[in-house]
């Protein structure tokens, strides 16, 4: 199956005027007509989704097609989302899937999967519960929007600055509305964990402590492009200062006072969703959403325990190879505390990443047939580093005019050991997220559905990142025992996540129990572990996606090697995994099985 089979020629095909109530087969319309109608259904659905996500469009370098800011907690958003998804399923029911070629069937299955899962959450009430308990210390809009504003991309014209000013006002309205939504949740009996509230409160207080001139919300007017003249600069500086001082800061102050005085006293002591009303239903949905499987929490927990035991045995081998005389616990402590294992200057860490990437590219042609156009960079996390996790990867625009960036939290240099950096570079950069996402974004033959819709397939994208780590030896890395141990340490982190995420949210573990388990099985520093555990608490289920996805990709590789024998080509296998974007695991498995049957 080749990328060009996906909706080939559909972009220029005639638009179907009517969506029929029964499936229309190729025997009636001809395959090209069925494909054209399906392509239009997908385009309509994507356009409807894009209208609800203007910030996502802006990150892709595109202008919003509707409102410049959409409040994701508003009743209007909820009603429009439900309308969109029900309309998509009706439209899909009028398309005969069997009449589509294999590539289009993948897009069909992904499109249907996304619509069905969204409606399952709406119909079950889980979507409404999430709206009443929206605090997220890792990826909440109160930290994501400042990051968005501090990005240098998208600020080229006066109109760009005017648009972002409108979005800033929309964001301020969202902050105010969130307090009302949290009060609604409290009245209905939905309270989030005390640790989540404290962490968000700490972020809010840190934001308020910044002078306006140093605020990421004000930062756009500190770096005007040359094309913007003096008069416009003066006017925009005044407008941004007023928006930040008189609207944004009061909105953050509202959060501070509300969270501290009203919400925190009623927050749950239990760290997991089990302690929240209807939390078991929410967590079950979270696991489906992130793993794209139907695995229950208890099953995932057992898989995690098995993986932890297996990786510990490999760690013992790495300890012996390094010549360390103490036991594994002492080896962990040695890695945590040995000063030579840590950089003290951001520039040194960034240079190390650059050396790793240069080395990896030398052997990439042996494993991969393609290379993305976009560059990869490591930059400091823009804001509130002392209140946030290690960092995150953010892809550049599809035209490769800007690099993909790993935003690294330079406030945590003393908790990121050098032996783990090769593995981190593989996961976040090449051939991990940067490679995977950039290849797909740059492939204009794919529909936007497969180029940009990563969220519903966390197990695929994070599973690929973890699988990419396993290719390190083939790419010339892990040549000494400490680098190999660093790789195992990172793999252990993902195995431990299966145990502690399910332990916290389903098996009634408390926060300290989860911290102790992670400290006992990794070399991570205690502060780093606490940050990780708090991330799992605030973003339930996401941490399970990594290992579940990687195990599936490894299974599919073994199946392919056994089926093809000496004809197996790792480059062709990687093409099959990567060339249709982030897929639910069942869809990915069906694709590989079809490829093997046709080989």
pLDDT tens for each residue of the chain, 599 residues long: 433 344 433 333 333 333 333 454 444 456 689 999 999 999 999 899 999 999 988 887 788 888 999 999 999 999 999 999 999 999 999 999 999 988 899 999 999 999 999 999 999 999 999 999 999 998 899 999 998 998 867 889 999 999 999 999 999 999 999 999 999 999 999 999 999 999 999 999 999 999 999 999 999 999 999 999 999 999 999 999 999 999 999 999 999 999 999 999 999 999 999 999 999 999 999 999 999 999 999 999 999 999 999 999 999 999 999 999 999 999 999 999 999 999 999 999 999 999 999 999 999 999 999 999 999 999 988 755 455 567 788 898 899 999 999 988 888 888 889 999 999 999 999 999 999 999 999 998 887 778 876 556 899 999 999 999 999 999 999 999 999 999 999 999 999 999 999 999 999 999 999 999 999 999 998 988 998 999 999 999 999 999 999 999 999 999 999 999 999 999 999 999 999 999 999 999 999 999 999 97
Structure-block tokens of residue 379: 């930059």
Cα 267 from Cα 197, distance rounded (Å):
7
CB 528 within 8 A of CB 390: yes
Closest CA to 51 of 77, 19, 74, 73: 77
* CA–CA gap between residue 250 and residue 506 (Å, rounded): 38
- What would the 3-class secondary structure string for 523-547 be? CCCHHHHHHHHHHHHHCCCHHHHHH
DSSP symbol at 278:
T
Whether the Cβ atoms of residue 492 and residue 315 lie closer than 8 Å to each other:
yes
CA distance to 73, 346, 404, 432, per residue, from 52 (Å): 11, 37, 24, 29
Give 508's DSSP letter.
Answer: -
């Amino acid at each position: 199956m080749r990328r060009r089979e996906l909706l080939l020629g559909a972009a220029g095909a005639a638009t179907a005027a009517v969506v029929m109530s029964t499936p229309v087969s190729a025997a009636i319309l001809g395959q090209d007509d069925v494909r054209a109608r399906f392509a239009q259904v997908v385009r309509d659905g994507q356009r409807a989704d894009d209208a609800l996500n203007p910030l996502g469009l802006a990150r892709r370098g595109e202008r919003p097609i509707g409102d410049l800011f959409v409040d994701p907690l508003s009743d209007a958003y909820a009603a429009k989302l439900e309308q969109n998804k029900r309309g998509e399923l009706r439209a899909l029911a009028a398309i005969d899937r069997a009449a589509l070629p294999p590539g289009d069937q993948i897009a069909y299955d992904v499109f249907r999967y996304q619509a069905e899962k969204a409606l399952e959450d709406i119909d079950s009430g889980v979507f409404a519960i999430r709206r009443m308990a929206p605090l997220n210390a890792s990826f909440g809009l109160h930290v994501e929007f400042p990051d968005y504003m501090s990005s240098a991309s998208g600020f080229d014209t006066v109109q760009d600055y005017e648009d972002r000013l409108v979005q800033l006002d929309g964001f301020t309205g969202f902050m105010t509305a969130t307090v009302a939504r949290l009060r609604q949740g409290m009245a209905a009996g939905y309270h989030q964990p005390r640790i989540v509230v404290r962490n968000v409160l700490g972020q809010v207080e840190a934001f308020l402590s910044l002078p306006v001139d140093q605020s990421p919300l004000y930062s756009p007017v500190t770096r005007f492009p040359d094309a913007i003249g003096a008069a416009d600069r003066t006017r925009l500086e005044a407008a941004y200062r007023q928006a930040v001082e008189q609207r944004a800061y009061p909105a953050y102050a509202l959060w501070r006072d509300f969270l501290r005085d009203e919400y925190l006293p009623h927050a749950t002591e239990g760290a997991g969703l089990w302690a929240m009303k209807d939390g078991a239903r929410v967590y079950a949905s979270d696991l489906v959403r992130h793993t794209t499987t139907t695995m229950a929490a208890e099953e995932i927990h057992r898989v995690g325990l098995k993986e932890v035991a297996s990786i510990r045995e490999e760690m013992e081998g790495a300890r012996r190879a390094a010549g360390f005389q103490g036991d594994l616990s002492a080896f962990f402590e040695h890695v945590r505390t040995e000063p030579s294992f840590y950089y003290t200057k951001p520039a040194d860490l960034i240079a190390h990443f650059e050396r790793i990437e240069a080395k990896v590219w030398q052997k990439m042609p042996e494993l991969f047939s393609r290379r993305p156009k976009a560059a990869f960079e490591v930059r400091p996390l823009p804001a509130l580093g002392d209140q946030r996790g290690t960092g995150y990867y953010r892809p550049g625009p599809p035209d490769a005019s800007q690099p993909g960036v790993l935003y690294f939290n330079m406030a945590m240099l003393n908790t990121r050991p050098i032996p783990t950096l090769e593995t981190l570079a593989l996961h976040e950069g090449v051939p991990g997220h940067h490679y995977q996402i950039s290849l797909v974004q740059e492939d204009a033959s794919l529909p936007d559905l497969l180029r940009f819709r990563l969220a519903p397939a966390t197990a695929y994208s994070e599973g690929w990142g973890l699988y990419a780590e396993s290719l390190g030896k083939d790419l010339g890395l892990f040549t000494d025992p400490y680098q190999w141990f660093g790789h195992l340490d990172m793999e252990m982190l993902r195995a431990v996540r299966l145990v502690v995420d399910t332990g916290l949210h389903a098996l009634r573990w408390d926060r300290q129990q989860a911290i102790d388990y992670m400290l006992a099985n990794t070399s991570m520093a205690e502060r780093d572990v606490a940050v990780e555990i708090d991330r799992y608490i605030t973003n339930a289920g996401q941490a399970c996606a990594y290992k579940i996805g990687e195990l599936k990709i490894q299974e599919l590789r073994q199946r392919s090697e056994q089926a093809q024998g000496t004809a197996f080509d790792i480059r062709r296998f990687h093409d099959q995994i990567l060339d249709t974007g982030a897929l639910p695991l069942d869809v990915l498995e069906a694709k590989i099985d079809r490829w093997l049957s046709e080989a």
